[in-house]
Amino acid sequence: MVLRDISLIGFKNIAEQQLTLSEGINCLVGDNGAGKTNVLDAVHYLSMAKSMLSMTDSQSVRHGDEFFMLDGRFTCDDGRAEQVSCSYSRRSGKTLKRNGKEYERLSDHVGAFPIVVVSPSDTALISDSAEERRRYLNSFISQIDRSYLTALIRYNAALAERNKLLKTSPAEDMLAIYDRMLADSGEVIYRRRTDIIGQMTPLVEQYYALLSEDREKVEITYRSELAERPLTELLLASRQRDFVNEYTTCGIHRDDMVLGIGGYPLRKYGSQGQQKSFLVALKLAQYTLLSEHRGERPILLLDDLFDKLDMRRVAQLLALVSGERFGQILITDCNKVRLQSTLDRAGATYRLFNVSEGEIRQ
């Protein structure tokens, strides 16, 4: 998948800009606060219909403006041309169109324009709660598999209803209806997570070794209560406890993905360098799986590249992603000289954009 052109109107600190990207590596350089990440976020909007930062649609409208409007022209790996526009107005909300036709559900768009983001905020996957890792997995697997996203939407709806019900004094047969819905969609989600994490592990290992020249063995373990018993049984067994707590205490909304290195938790025992290499390896594994499952190479966004890795590792990464298996890449960095010299050293060709106060010049 290649994003040929993108036009932005009223998006964050960008009043109105148009850029024509290269199908290979694109570099956005400029001072902190210039608007580099904002450009990447606009690309993310076109792909996922939402911000990659935890910003709402209305926070993404330029201060003082009424709406933002993003428009992208893409070329798929098989040569097909696609056009996506995403707009949000403070008054009438969000609209997403593909080739001029408006989507009825935004979720129908997810996965059609695959994307992978490497950013400084990835560290939340290590330091924050399991919820952060579930969010990551959900977003990733939803891009691979539409039925996963459908199951997830059903599960969350049933969970919300069940929790609401637990706050009243519900009849057991009412609960049983929601248990059934949770079990049906929960098992789909459990199987898909097991499957994908299983496929990811050897890839992460491979990329980690390439990036770090580290001999430590890395591992990803999927932790779920459903590994022991089917969700139907778990729900039945926890019913009394759920009444007391007034919420559902078991299910796939409590799963976790445990990251380890050399047999120990990455968070506690991994050095800064190991943690960063691990996160990049994780994202490259995600890229590879998305690419294989969808038959379309995702767009790769590398935000603040040098925040993650030292010069030598960045050079290794760039040499890796300039290969055939990877497609279009957008990189940001605040140090032009450093980025250029590293790219030159990796033997990569690239297009350079200077970003300053929301203006972008090639």
Ligand X SMILES: Nc1ncnc2c1ncn2[C@@H]1O[C@H](COP(=O)(O)OP(=O)(O)O)[C@@H](O)[C@H]1O
**Tokens for 41?**
């976020």
Strands 67-75 and 2-11: antiparallel
Q: Which is nearer to ligand X, 29 or 250 (CB)?
A: 29
Binding to Mg ion by CB under 5 A, coded x per residue (else -) over 255-274, reads --------------------
Q: Which is nearer to Mg ion, 37 or 291 (CB)?
A: 37
- Is residue 46 within 8 A of residue 123, CB to CB? The reply is no
Q: Which is nearer to ligand X, 322 or 356 (CB)?
A: 356
Which range, of 54-62, 88-96, 237-245, 318-326, touches ligand X by CB under 6 A? 54-62
Binding to ligand X by CB under 6 A, coded x per residue (else -) over 332-351, reads x-------------------
- The Cα-based distances of 141 to 61, 103, 202 in angstroms read 29, 21, 17
Q: For residue 156, state whether it binds ligand X (rule: CB under 6 A).
A: no
Q: For residue 30, state whether it binds ligand X (rule: CB under 6 A).
A: yes
Minimal CA–CA distance to 220: which of 145, 94, 331, 136? 136
Q: Which is nearer to ligand X, 33 or 273 (CB)?
A: 33
Three-class SS state of 328: coil
Name the minimum Å distance from CB 37 to Mg ion: 3
Binding to Mg ion by CB under 5 A, coded x per residue (else -) over 7-46, reads ------------------------------x---------
User: DSSP labels for 21-88?
Assistant: --SSEEEEE--TTSSHHHHHHHHHHHHHSS-SSS--TGGGBPTT-SEEEEEEEEE-TTS-EEEEEEEE
Q: Which is nearer to ligand X, 335 or 341 (CB)?
A: 335
Answer for which of 62, 134, 276, 308 binds ligand X (CB under 6 A) is 62
Q: Restricting to residues 296-335, name those near ligand X by CB under 6 A.
A: 332
Name the minimum Å distance from CB 34 to ligand X: 4
Q: How many CB atoms lie within 10 A of CB 123?
A: 17
Which range, of 56-64, 70-78, 170-178, 232-240, touches ligand X by CB under 6 A? 56-64
Answer for which of 24, 33, 170, 273 binds ligand X (CB under 6 A) is 33
Answer for which of 12, 98, 283, 308 binds ligand X (CB under 6 A) is 12
- Is residue 342 within 8 A of residue 302, CB to CB? The reply is no
Q: How many CB atoms lie within 10 A of CB 203?
A: 19
Q: For residue 38, state whether it binds ligand X (rule: CB under 6 A).
A: yes
- The Cα-based distances of 361 to 19, 22, 48, 354, 358 in angstroms read 8, 14, 26, 5, 10
Cα separation, 234 vs 248, whole angstroms? 11
- Is residue 273 within 8 A of residue 203, CB to CB? The reply is no
Q: Which is nearer to Mg ion, 54 or 240 (CB)?
A: 54
Cα separation, 291 vs 196, whole angstroms? 13
Answer for which of 35, 114, 260, 270 binds ligand X (CB under 6 A) is 35
Q: Which residues form the interface with ligand X (CB under 6 A)?
A: 12-13, 30, 32-38, 59-63, 332, 355
Q: Which residues form the interface with Mg ion (CB under 5 A)?
A: 37
